[in-house]
Amino acid sequence: MGMVGGGRGAFIGGVHRMAAALDSQIELVCGAFSSDPERSRLSGEDFYLPADRVYGSYAEMIEKEQLLPEGERMDFVSIVTPNHLHYGPAKMALEHGFHVVCDKPLCFSMEEAEELVALVEETGLIFALTHNYTGYPMVKQARAMIKAGELGAIRKVVVEYPQGWLSTKLEDTEQKQAGWRTDPSRSGIAGAMGDIGTHAENLAEYITGLEITELCADLTAFVPGRQLDDDGNVLLRFSNGAKGVLHASQICAGEENDLNIRVYGTKGGFHWRQMEPNTLTVKWLDKPVEVRRTGVGELYPEATAHTRIPAGHPEGYLEAFANIYRNFAHCVRARLAGEAPDPLMLDYPGVKDGLRGMKFIQKVVASNNSKEKWIKI
Amino acid sequence: MGMVGGGRGAFIGGVHRMAAALDSQIELVCGAFSSDPERSRLSGEDFYLPADRVYGSYAEMIEKEQLLPEGERMDFVSIVTPNHLHYGPAKMALEHGFHVVCDKPLCFSMEEAEELVALVEETGLIFALTHNYTGYPMVKQARAMIKAGELGAIRKVVVEYPQGWLSTKLEDTEQKQAGWRTDPSRSGIAGAMGDIGTHAENLAEYITGLEITELCADLTAFVPGRQLDDDGNVLLRFSNGAKGVLHASQICAGEENDLNIRVYGTKGGFHWRQMEPNTLTVKWLDKPVEVRRTGVGELYPEATAHTRIPAGHPEGYLEAFANIYRNFAHCVRARLAGEAPDPLMLDYPGVKDGLRGMKFIQKVVASNNSKEKWIKI
Amino acid sequence: MGMVGGGRGAFIGGVHRMAAALDSQIELVCGAFSSDPERSRLSGEDFYLPADRVYGSYAEMIEKEQLLPEGERMDFVSIVTPNHLHYGPAKMALEHGFHVVCDKPLCFSMEEAEELVALVEETGLIFALTHNYTGYPMVKQARAMIKAGELGAIRKVVVEYPQGWLSTKLEDTEQKQAGWRTDPSRSGIAGAMGDIGTHAENLAEYITGLEITELCADLTAFVPGRQLDDDGNVLLRFSNGAKGVLHASQICAGEENDLNIRVYGTKGGFHWRQMEPNTLTVKWLDKPVEVRRTGVGELYPEATAHTRIPAGHPEGYLEAFANIYRNFAHCVRARLAGEAPDPLMLDYPGVKDGLRGMKFIQKVVASNNSKEKWIKI
Amino acid sequence: MGMVGGGRGAFIGGVHRMAAALDSQIELVCGAFSSDPERSRLSGEDFYLPADRVYGSYAEMIEKEQLLPEGERMDFVSIVTPNHLHYGPAKMALEHGFHVVCDKPLCFSMEEAEELVALVEETGLIFALTHNYTGYPMVKQARAMIKAGELGAIRKVVVEYPQGWLSTKLEDTEQKQAGWRTDPSRSGIAGAMGDIGTHAENLAEYITGLEITELCADLTAFVPGRQLDDDGNVLLRFSNGAKGVLHASQICAGEENDLNIRVYGTKGGFHWRQMEPNTLTVKWLDKPVEVRRTGVGELYPEATAHTRIPAGHPEGYLEAFANIYRNFAHCVRARLAGEAPDPLMLDYPGVKDGLRGMKFIQKVVASNNSKEKWIKI
């Protein structure tokens, strides 16, 4: 693995490194960790990399690695930069024959997104997008239950993503994360909706297997002087006639990272909450509520395949994140070996999920600016 | 107390009787318990009433009771019939000088609602509407906290009322409750939104002290053949610029009666849930989450005045409901005695809350039928 | 109902009055509310009683009421005084032919307890002891599940009753409740163990249908200067070979009234917690955890018969307490009518539960004072 | 790192490998993964190890690695075999100058334990014992709060470790974990008490900073034919006069791995539960309950230093386990570099915790066999 971004002071880069390391299937071999070459060099030292595999830019990394003999050069690129810096390295990596893991959202604009989709199709390379919340075992279980028809026809979806960390004008401090996320030139046309709303959208579509077809959005920048939305409420309509609500916010003072989803069908419903991710509360029309738990009892193979340790030993955010890396690595390894991958390991978010997320952002912003009630997606 | 409705087979009448009895301040002295005189008579026997105080109709009850000497006749009328039968007895009771307790929603149409408001103003009689969920001590605490500015300026409100009991076409069975609630001729223009959406609206406005000024609604009748909405999602805008979401449903399979509300301001937020009503979870921008509990520690007098037993002895639905009756009875007694009521006891929902609820129903239905995004309320 | 104790400033008397009133089956007709006749008189006014039915002592009440014509005089006596004042009025009431409701623990000493048991047997009168925590619907459900063998053979019981309100020397203040509870001359040989440990013991035996046969106790008075235990830990052995732990405390700073019980058998187990009494969490060896809830789905008739309102409308402490009064009243009424009571209504704690509790207190204290590991009960 | 045990089919070995890999500070370079050389060889392939670093026995590994040049040979040994196979490799590794990480309990007998303690002292080598549950950030927070006196003087400790997985005679199946844990020749004199009771003991002493000085135990083998205890209830007395209860069980049908602890002092108390490890519920004598959370607000440096990701991104069992490896690796690295380790990183369980655990096992079994109430520890 060669990493783009994620040097000293960054947040998500460290998460990617831990997620990649957990299963001892992936080795960090090189990186361009910062646009500042000195910072990149120091970061490389932190990771015990040889100096000649620490590059000053992603372009240099991709070019030089390509010249290394097979087996020695990196097998794939992991992109962990802010949104506006996804497209460049992703495109170049694909064009130079490297598989890609990319943080979400996919990129900055619809045009970029469509170009990346086309490039992945052309090259046939493997592309994973880290919509990590779908990596949890009980999310897999929830999706499998719906797919198997256990809940009947889906009628209602409520997906929420409240955070509170941007309740004040944190971007006026040195806080790097707040800085780029509230800056349209680095984050794109949406704030909270791009940063976390897309996770909610992705989770809802992943779990239900449905597509959002229409939406009606009300976005707000509550903190005075902020340019991008820090709160949004959206009515949803799904492909099968189900209705829903999505709300995401970064000004829900006191909330941590409370992504959660409820889905109701004709036979039952469930609730899953990221902050207690090993529990899936299933409610039935005609039986008692069941508490399904990671590793406990008969679960779908999709859940079991993404569980590492026995029941009651809580698996967390990093393990879910690592599931994307593990599945991606499995598929890359199978490709290198010319073997068919385990079908259960084909389950990771890809470039089309990224495109879908970009569309969601675009339509939510359009709806917010419109007097019409419904915008098609 | 003389009761209209609530005979054998009814649900809410029994709740009213228990709520009225709890504090030994109110005695059921007469009733017209059913439009079927024989059922009314038998119900009267159940309640150990003398036969001559059990009437065949509310009109007969009001007329005959008025002829009894003061001190012997009923002091007030309690109306516990389906929605379309609130207006008649309420109007007649007021016109004959009786105070009134009325179940919600206030009545059937905006015209009726406005007439009742005018009549209460004219007569100066005491009118309580049983929006019982505002009777819980921790709801009082929540309201007092906001009033005192503890949360800062309110930015976001999420109020939910999911139930699952109408997930199937229960109205085709003998279930009396389902029957009238899904019948436009007895329930009015809205189903779930009238039955429980108004509770959510009332709770949100009561707790925040704000008014909903605009809304955008998407209502659905999911169960085939049902005439009234059994699910609704609504975007809200409040008088002070706060935004919100209200959703209420009777097709959330497996849900019981999960009314709950979250409110966030600039300084903090809270969560209150009717099914665990003695807990108010308060989240702060800069302090740990606090769990406030009925009867524990320093609470606002508004909460303490509505608490009967010590901490850790759970108070429930009936106690909250009884708080309305107790406050109402206190005010009636004070009126009879020519004394000023305790200001804390003036806190019960009245005819104006009823009018507000009727407006909400009207606007939600109008919004659902409109292509315009926002409808003013 | 004629009440002994429970005048102004008392706590449990008010609870008994609300519990008795809730179902409109019992009327307070007289009382001797305080050993101070003036306080008794004023309390009688609070309850709207005629002056001639408010007595200066329980002896006066019992004597004078007996002289009133049947149908007019009280049907039973409710005793809500501190522990040392249970025996006198209970004995006299029984001797004068009155049924009795008595607060727990039954009395002050084993001798008194045995005398009362004998007296109830001789007279055939109805005697209810308000071990109110067994009145909750989900406790009934739990008991019925075990009785039906759903959990298999019981192996382990953990019953806890932590409170924190006596963490400081509250008895040195004016707090009346703390005063008598920590005073050996009014409370008996045990403090926390008598006050709340007996509730835990009663709950464990009631739910499991087993008897504690041996115990090993470690009691402590943590607060300096306190004469009676404010904390106790007890190992338990049950009649069928099951093992268990009981701990009760009034110095668990910050705890409210957290009585709870877990029971495990060969097939499954459950957890019930008084502070969220409408939930019974059932765990199975080979199926997912089930959350059973008051009023939801198929429950045992024992649970349903003690439920007043639909699912999701929380029933609390007063409703559980009222179940004892309602069942007692039903049995008294059936006796008066010469009819057989509904078998489900025969379920209320009686004088033998009281004797059992007195034995528990005696043995726990004996064990604490002994160097031997096991004391038989 | 060279690993002893943990080949194909083992459980805890995989946990150790993931924990060691997470932070990219430790590399698995060699191993003797099984007493079966072929299984060891295959396991080595699974881990991408060169064939010549996969050994047939721990003795071979230690001898051959010692011959490798510094910088190339393993820096330490990680022992992940069943209990009876800890002592041999630990002793030999220490005698050959290798630092050691060892799974718990330390070894098989008191004699072995004392010998290992002496050996660690003599050699000055670094020894970590994986009492992993003390690795959670909120356990660190709890300990720091008590150390700082926030709870006042500690009065009561309740520590529980219920599991249900041995409710049936699982050892009669192929289940390898059940096999050795219930076999006195491999597990030692205690079953559940050795396997999980020691975790509970370690957690209680770690968090409170107190020592258990006396205990009274009741152990049971509930499953017919089982030789070692599968359930135990223990009364505790602590060095400062605090009292407590410890119970651990593997026959609590339906329980997963519910290690939890409550501690109460004169000023407040708290509850921590391993299955939701990022929450520490703190209760106060005179303030509302506080919910402290990993990564949220002002926490003690001890907690923050053991947290990897921001609030609301749940950290789990592997992260807590990895904290031991990370701290151990830090100390080994500092030793190699001749530098002083970060004081916060000195916090990992060591050989003396292991000795303490062995004493606990010995005394619990002795108490169970005794008629005397209290056994000193």
Q: How far apart are the CA of D233 and the nearest CA of chain C, in angstroms?
A: 7
Residues A38, A43: Cα–Cα separation, whole Å:
9
CA D371 vs. chain centroid, Å, equals 31
Q: How far apart are the CA of D248 and the nearest CA of chain C, in angstroms?
A: 11
Residue D209 falls inside a structural domain: yes
Q: How many CB pairs under 8 A join A and C?
A: 32
Instruction: Check if the beta carbon of residue A268 is closer than 8 Å to that of residue A284.
Output: yes
**Are the Cβ atoms of B288 and D290 closer than 8 angstroms?**
yes
> What is the DSSP secondary structure assignment for residue B7, as one 8-state letter?
-
Interval B86-109: pLDDT, tens: 999 999 999 999 999 999 999 999
**What residue numbers bound the domain in which A147 lies?**
136-312+355-376
Provide the pLDDT for residue C303: 98
**Are the Cβ atoms of C18 and B23 closer than 8 angstroms?**
yes
pLDDT at D286 over 90: no
**Are the Cβ atoms of A218 and B233 closer than 8 angstroms?**
no
Residue written as tokens 């040889």?
Answer: A50
Here the CATH number for the domain that contains residue D54 is: 3.40.50.720
Provide the pLDDT for residue A10: 83
Read off the pLDDT band of D10 (50, 70, 90): confident
Q: Do residues D163 and D254 share a domain? A: yes
Rg of chain A's alpha carbons, rounded to an integer? 21
SS3 A376: strand
Provide the pLDDT for residue B112: 95
**Are the Cβ atoms of D290 and B293 closer than 8 angstroms?**
no
Q: Do residues D74 and D180 share a domain? A: no
Q: Do residues D158 and D289 share a domain? A: yes
Question: Which chains, if any, share at least 3 CB pairs under 8 A with chain A?
Answer: B, C, D
Find the CB nearest D289 among B286, B287, B291: B291
- Nearest Cα to A3, choosing from A27, A38, A37? A27
Q: Do residues B110 and B147 share a domain? A: no
Q: Do residues D81 and D175 share a domain? A: no
Residues A1, A17: Cα–Cα separation, whole Å:
10
Provide the pLDDT for residue C11: 85
**Are the Cβ atoms of C257 and B14 closer than 8 angstroms?**
no
Provide φ and ψ at B239, rounded to 5°. -55, -30
Task: Over range A217-237, report the average pLDDT.
Answer: 98
Residue B105 falls inside a structural domain: yes
Instruction: Check if the beta carbon of residue C157 is closer than 8 Å to that of residue C265.
Output: no
ipTM for this model: 0.96
Find the CB nearest C291 among A286, A288, A293: A288
Sheet with C76-79, side-by-side order of all strands? C30-32, C2-4, C76-79, C99-102, C127-129
User: Among the three residues B87, B114, B130, which one is the final residue of a domain in this structure?
Assistant: B130
Q: How far apart are the CA of D368 and the nearest CA of chain C, in angstroms?
A: 10
Q: How far apart are the CA of B271 and the nearest CA of chain D, in angstroms?
A: 14
Residues A58, A67: Cα–Cα separation, whole Å:
14
Q: How far apart are the CA of B122 and the nearest CA of chain C, in angstroms?
A: 33
Angle between helices C317-337 and C12-21 in degrees, nearest 10? 60
Interval B306-324: pLDDT, tens: 999 999 999 999 999 999 9
Read off the pLDDT band of A161 (50, 70, 90): very high
Q: How far apart are the CA of B12 and the nearest CA of chain C, in angstroms?
A: 9
Find the CB nearest C256 among B24, B256, B312: B312
Provide the pLDDT for residue B176: 83
pLDDT at A11 over 90: no
Here the CATH number for the domain that contains residue D292 is: 3.30.360.10
The amino acid at D354: G
D267 contact residues in C (CB cutoff 8 A): 253
Q: Do residues D30 and D119 share a domain? A: yes
Interval D28-46: pLDDT, tens: 999 999 989 999 999 999 9
User: Among the three residues D130, D160, D187, which one is the final residue of a domain in this structure?
Assistant: D130
**Are the Cβ atoms of A21 and D17 closer than 8 angstroms?**
no
What are the structure tokens assigned to B275, written together? 């099914």
Q: Where are the alpha helices (DSSP H) in C124-181?
A: 137-147, 176-181
H or E element, residue A322: helix A317-337
Q: Do residues B263 and B242 share a domain? A: yes
pLDDT at D180 over 90: no
Residue C344 falls inside a structural domain: no
Region of residue C173 (left: phi > 0; alpha: psi -120 to 50; beta: else): beta
**Are the Cβ atoms of C293 and A289 closer than 8 angstroms?**
yes
Smallest CA–CA distance from C314 into chain B, residue: B316
Higher pLDDT, B241 or D181: B241
Residues A358, A344: Cα–Cα separation, whole Å:
26
Task: Over range A215-241, report the average pLDDT.
Answer: 98
Residue D125 falls inside a structural domain: yes
Residues B104, B132: Cα–Cα separation, whole Å:
9
Residues B231, A235: Cα–Cα separation, whole Å:
13
> What is the DSSP secondary structure assignment for residue D54, as one 8-state letter?
B
Number of domains in chain B: 2
Q: Do residues D170 and D273 share a domain? A: yes
Task: Over range A273-282, report the average pLDDT.
Answer: 98
Residues D369, A160: Cα–Cα separation, whole Å:
56
Percent of chain B past pLDDT 90, that is, above it, reads: 94
**Are the Cβ atoms of A247 and B251 closer than 8 angstroms?**
no
Residues D73, D66: Cα–Cα separation, whole Å:
7
Q: Do residues D361 and D227 share a domain? A: yes
Instruction: Check if the beta carbon of residue B73 is closer than 8 Å to that of residue B50.
Output: no
User: Among the three residues B98, B130, B162, which one is the final residue of a domain in this structure?
Assistant: B130
Instruction: Check if the beta carbon of residue B166 is closer than 8 Å to that of residue B220.
Output: no
C169 contact residues in D (CB cutoff 8 A): none
SS3 B366: helix
Residue A101 falls inside a structural domain: yes
Q: How far apart are the CA of D107 and the nearest CA of chain C, in angstroms?
A: 29
B161 DSSP β-pair partners: B248
Q: How far apart are the CA of D232 and the nearest CA of chain B, in angstroms?
A: 30
Question: Which chains, if any, share at least 3 CB pairs under 8 A with chain C?
Answer: A, B, D
The amino acid at D52: D
CA D117 vs. chain centroid, Å, equals 16
The amino acid at C96: H
Percent of chain A past pLDDT 90, that is, above it, reads: 94
Provide the pLDDT for residue C324: 98
Q: How many CB pairs under 8 A join A and D?
A: 102
Q: How far apart are the first and last CA of chain B?
A: 36
Q: Do residues B21 and B161 share a domain? A: no
Interval B258-309: pLDDT, tens: 999 999 999 999 999 999 999 999 999 989 999 999 999 999 999 999 999 9
SS3 A243: strand
SS3 D337: helix
Which among C145, C154, C283 is the top mutation candidate for probing chain D, defined by the most D β-carbons within 10 Å of its own β-carbon?
Answer: C283
Find the CB nearest B287 among D282, D293, D297: D297
Which among D271, D286, D289 is the top mutation candidate for probing chain B, defined by the most B β-carbons within 10 Å of its own β-carbon?
Answer: D289
C281 contact residues in A (CB cutoff 8 A): 291
Q: Do residues C16 and C151 share a domain? A: no
Question: Which chains, if any, share at least 3 CB pairs under 8 A with chain B?
Answer: A, C, D
Q: How far apart are the CA of C109 and the nearest CA of chain D, in angstroms?
A: 27
Q: How far apart are the CA of B371 and the nearest CA of chain A, in angstroms?
A: 6
Residues B12, A372: Cα–Cα separation, whole Å:
41
Provide the pLDDT for residue D9: 80
> Going by C-beta distance under 8 Å and a sequence separation of 6 or more, which residues neighbour residue B264?
A162, A164, A249, A251, A252, A253, A254, A255, B151, B154, B155, B156, B157
- Nearest Cα to B364, choosing from B193, B220, B228, B210? B193
C289 contact residues in A (CB cutoff 8 A): 290-291, 293, 296
> Going by C-beta distance under 8 Å and a sequence separation of 6 or more, which residues neighbour residue B161?
B196, B197, B199, B200, B247, B248, B249, B258, B259, B260
pLDDT at B26 over 90: yes
Percent of chain D past pLDDT 90, that is, above it, reads: 94
> Going by C-beta distance under 8 Å and a sequence separation of 6 or more, which residues neighbour residue D238?
D154, D157, D208, D210, D211, D212, D213, D244
**Are the Cβ atoms of C309 and B47 closer than 8 angstroms?**
no
Q: Where are the alpha helices (DSSP H) in chain B?
A: 12-21, 37-46, 58-67, 87-95, 110-123, 137-147, 176-181, 184-187, 192, 198-208, 301-304, 317-337, 351-368
Read off the pLDDT band of A286 (50, 70, 90): confident
Smallest CA–CA distance from B163 into chain C, residue: C312
**Are the Cβ atoms of B245 and A247 closer than 8 angstroms?**
yes
Residue D88 falls inside a structural domain: yes
Residues C314, C294: Cα–Cα separation, whole Å:
8
Provide the pLDDT for residue B212: 98
Smallest CA–CA distance from A153 into chain B, residue: B222
Find the CB nearest B309 among C275, C278, C318: C318
What are the structure tokens assigned to D113, written together? 């334990």
Residues A146, D109: Cα–Cα separation, whole Å:
52
pLDDT at D74 over 90: yes
**Are the Cβ atoms of D274 and A23 closer than 8 angstroms?**
no
Which among B275, B293, B299 is the top mutation candidate for probing chain C, defined by the most C β-carbons within 10 Å of its own β-carbon?
Answer: B275
Smallest CA–CA distance from B249 into chain A, residue: A156
**Are the Cβ atoms of B292 and D287 closer than 8 angstroms?**
no
Q: How far apart are the first and last CA of chain D?
A: 36
Find the CB nearest B309 among C15, C47, C275: C15
SS3 C144: helix
Smallest CA–CA distance from A282 into chain C, residue: C290
D281 contact residues in B (CB cutoff 8 A): 291
A293 contact residues in C (CB cutoff 8 A): 288-289
Residues C247, C158: Cα–Cα separation, whole Å:
8
pLDDT at B196 over 90: yes
Instruction: Check if the beta carbon of residue B147 is closer than 8 Å to that of residue B202.
Output: no
Q: What pTM was computed for the model?
A: 0.97
Residues B274, B326: Cα–Cα separation, whole Å:
20
Q: What is the dihedral of CA C78, C82, C83, C89, to 10 degrees?
A: -40
Residue B335 falls inside a structural domain: no
Residues C331, D206: Cα–Cα separation, whole Å:
56
Read off the pLDDT band of B234 (50, 70, 90): very high
Residues A374, B367: Cα–Cα separation, whole Å:
12
Residue D320 falls inside a structural domain: no
Interval A345-361: pLDDT, tens: 999 999 999 999 999 99
Instruction: Check if the beta carbon of residue C195 is closer than 8 Å to that of residue C231.
Output: no
Q: How far apart are the CA of D160 and the nearest CA of chain A, in angstroms?
A: 14
C283 contact residues in D (CB cutoff 8 A): 164, 253-255
Residues D137, D307: Cα–Cα separation, whole Å:
6
Average pLDDT value for chain A: 96
Q: Do residues D38 and D170 share a domain? A: no
Per-residue pLDDT 10s for chain C (377 aa) are 999 999 988 889 999 999 999 999 999 999 999 989 999 999 999 999 999 999 999 999 999 999 999 889 999 999 999 989 999 999 999 999 999 999 999 999 999 999 999 999 999 999 999 999 999 999 999 999 999 999 999 999 999 999 999 999 999 998 888 988 999 998 899 999 999 999 999 999 999 999 999 999 999 999 999 999 999 999 999 999 999 999 999 999 999 999 999 999 999 999 999 999 999 999 999 899 999 999 999 999 999 999 999 999 999 999 999 999 999 999 999 999 999 999 999 999 999 999 999 999 999 999 999 999 999 99
Interval D107-157: pLDDT, tens: 999 999 999 999 999 999 999 999 999 999 999 999 999 999 999 999 999
D276 contact residues in B (CB cutoff 8 A): none
Chain B residues with CB under 8 Å of a chain D CB are 281-282, 286-293, 296-297
